[in-house]
């Protein structure tokens, strides 16, 4: 693996970057992409963001579509918060493979280092922490807009600094961002104190599906995406409630089952204290973090639940 100094040197020496995010980008991914894109442009570089699919309505407040405009020929695929090539979706073939050079900056421990240059720090609570350190290493100016993007990134992946991945370093970086942002309250309210009508309607739809297993240590919640679309809501609205089943007293592991079709179910895992859900997800071809991970099952939802419960009996 490369050092942050080596990544910094490369970015300063070259000029044309396509910044690639993962599919269904979250706040960490979008915040990193925006901050890095703006910083590179401010340094006289050409940069644009490539999204495999549009950001969710939940993050529209912090996004600028002009970041996706490309009026140059990219040379380097710059991946942020992307743990594997499969997470790029169509961007892998349409962008990553077509460019002669590649860089990956990530904080997922499951990342194998698929780019030419890789900096992966699984100890960082959010990829946003790494991007902040990279910009400091590069001597880039962190203005208010960049600071806000980094705050979204770090706050989103730490659950507003509530998750166990939050560290002293997290707070040290955020304290520096607060010195640049006059009023961070609207950002935090948009992330954690506001819900769209679609999200509320989605919650009404999925609450009846909650079920408990293994003496209340496991909680499942199921979202039929077709039913949610029929409500007039966006399927991404489910993501606003991924942490809800884990919040029940006594629950160690929560799983949210998103039914895409009769034979495709995407599962988001969350844990509280001792179960490594990244290891659990890896048994089914997925991955992620110790306390937050996911996997896809190409079978019906009941079959997926049975397989997961069989593994959880060994863990809780």
Give pLDDT tens digits for 226-271: 999 999 998 989 988 998 999 999 999 999 999 999 999 999 999 9
Mean local confidence (pLDDT), 138-154: 97
Confidence of residue 85 (pLDDT cuts 50, 70, 90): very high
- Write out the residue range of the structural domain in which residue 92 sits: 4-192
What's the rounded Cα separation, in Å, for the pair 150 and 156?
10
pLDDT at 135: 98
Q: At which residue do the structure tokens 């401010």 appear?
A: 42
Residues 188 and 204 in one domain: no
Residues 240 and 291 in one domain: yes
Single residue among 143, 171, 192 that ends a domain in this structure? 192
Query: How large a percentage of the chain has pLDDT more than 90?
Result: 86
Residues 179 and 235 in one domain: no
pLDDT at 112: 87
Residues 301 and 284 in one domain: yes
Residues 273 and 238 in one domain: yes
Residues 134 and 204 in one domain: no
Task: Provide the mean pLDDT of the chain.
Answer: 95
pLDDT at 58: 81
Residues 59 and 178 in one domain: yes
pTM for the model stands at 0.84
Single residue among 192, 210, 230 that ends a domain in this structure? 192
What is the Cβ-side half-sphere exposure of residue 313, based on CA atoms within 13 angstroms? 5
Single residue among 164, 192, 220 that ends a domain in this structure? 192
8 A C-beta contact, residue 296 and residue 257? no
Residues 72 and 141 in one domain: yes
pLDDT at 194: 87
Q: How many domains does the chain have?
A: 2
Residues 155 and 271 in one domain: no
Residue 92's domain is classified under what CATH number? Answer: 3.90.1640.10
């Amino acid at each position: 693996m490369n050092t942050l100094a080596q990544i910094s040197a490369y970015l300063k020496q070259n000029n044309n970057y396509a910044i690639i995010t993962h599919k269904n980008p979250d706040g960490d991914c979008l915040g990193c992409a925006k901050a890095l894109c703006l910083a590179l442009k401010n340094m006289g570089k050409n940069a644009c963001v490539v999204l495999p699919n549009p950001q969710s309505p939940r993050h529209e407040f912090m996004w600028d579509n002009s970041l996706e405009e490309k009026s140059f020929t990219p040379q380097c695929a710059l991946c942020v918060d992307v743990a594997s090539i499969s997470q790029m979706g169509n961007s892998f073939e349409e962008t990553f493979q077509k460019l002669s050079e590649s860089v990956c900056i990530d904080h997922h421990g499951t990342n194998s280092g698929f780019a030419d240059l890789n900096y992966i720090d699984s100890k960082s609570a959010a990829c946003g922490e790494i991007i902040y350190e990279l910009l400091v290493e590069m001597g880039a100016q962190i203005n208010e807009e960049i600071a806000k993007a980094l705050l979204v990134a770090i706050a989103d992946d730490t659950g507003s600094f509530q998750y166990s991945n939050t560290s002293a370093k997290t707070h040290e970086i955020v304290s520096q961002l607060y010195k640049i942002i006059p009023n961070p309250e609207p950002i935090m309210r948009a992330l954690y104190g506001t819900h769209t009508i679609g999200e509320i309607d989605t919650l009404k739809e999925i609450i009846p599906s909650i079920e408990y297993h293994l003496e209340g240590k496991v909680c499942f919640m199921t979202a039929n995406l077709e039913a949610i679309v029929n409500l007039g809501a966006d399927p991404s609205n489910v993501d606003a409630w991924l942490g809800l089943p884990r919040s029940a007293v006594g629950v160690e592991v929560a799983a949210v089952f998103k039914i895409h079709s009769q034979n495709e179910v995407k599962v988001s895992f969350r844990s509280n204290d001792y179960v490594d859900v990244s290891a659990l997800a890896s048994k089914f071809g997925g991955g992620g973090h110790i306390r937050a991970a996911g996997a896809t099952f190409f079978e019906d939802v009941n079959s997926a639940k049975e397989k997961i419960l069989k593994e959880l009996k060994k863990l809780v």
